[in-house]
Amino acid sequence: MKPTQPTELTFWDHLDELRKTIIHIACAVIVLMLLAFCFKEELFGLILAPQEGDFCTYRFFACLGRILHIAGLEAETLPVKLINTQLSGQFLTHMSVSFYAGILLASPYILYQLFHT
């Protein structure tokens, strides 16, 4: 048996492959965006976690301050107030954060789609 020679793709074949790849990526991002939107409370809890005084980085610096005898490395609760300046600001904020979370969650699949042969 002769080894099969890879066929050369025409410009339109390459364009068709690019279209398929972009559609696969868009579908993955949209599905993960909708999933992130369903868990928006948990997502915002994760994003706004640094406002709490028991955040892991704050605990690390407090422990480091106790070990090195440096006063003032302890953190307090940081007050964060989210305000809307537009009529649909809250909804658009939820949608944009969900979109970015979808891209972040789909990034391994995006890289696979872009770089597989």
What is the pLDDT, as a whole number, of residue 33? 97
User: 7 φ, ψ to 5°?
Assistant: -80, 145
pLDDT, tens digit, for every residue of 61-104? Answer: 888 888 988 888 777 777 778 788 888 888 999 999 999 999 99
Q: Could you tell me if residue 1 is inside a domain?
A: no
Higher-confidence position of 117 and 29: 29
Give the count of beta carbons closer than 10 Å to the beta carbon of residue 104: 13
The kind and range of the H/E element at 94 are helix 89-115
Give pLDDT, residue 23: 96
Domain assignment of residue 39, given as a range: 26-115
Give residues with Cβ within 8 angstroms of 74, minimum separation 6: 58, 61, 62, 65
How confident is residue 2, by pLDDT bands cut at 50, 70 and 90?
Answer: low
Please report the pLDDT score of residue 69 as a whole number. Answer: 85
pTM of the model: 0.75
| Residue 92 domain flag | yes
Q: Is residue 21 included in any domain, yes or no?
A: no
Amino acid 53: pLDDT: 78
Rg (CA), the chain: 23
8 A C-beta contact, residue 50 and residue 78: yes
Answer yes or no: is 2 within a domain.
Answer: no
How many domains does the chain fold into?
1
The token duo for 93 is 């904020």
User: pLDDT digits over 17-63, tens only?
Assistant: 999 999 999 999 999 999 999 999 999 989 888 888 788 888 888 88
Domain-located, residue 39: yes
In a domain, 12, yes or no: no
| Cα distance between residue 83 and residue 104, in whole Å | 25
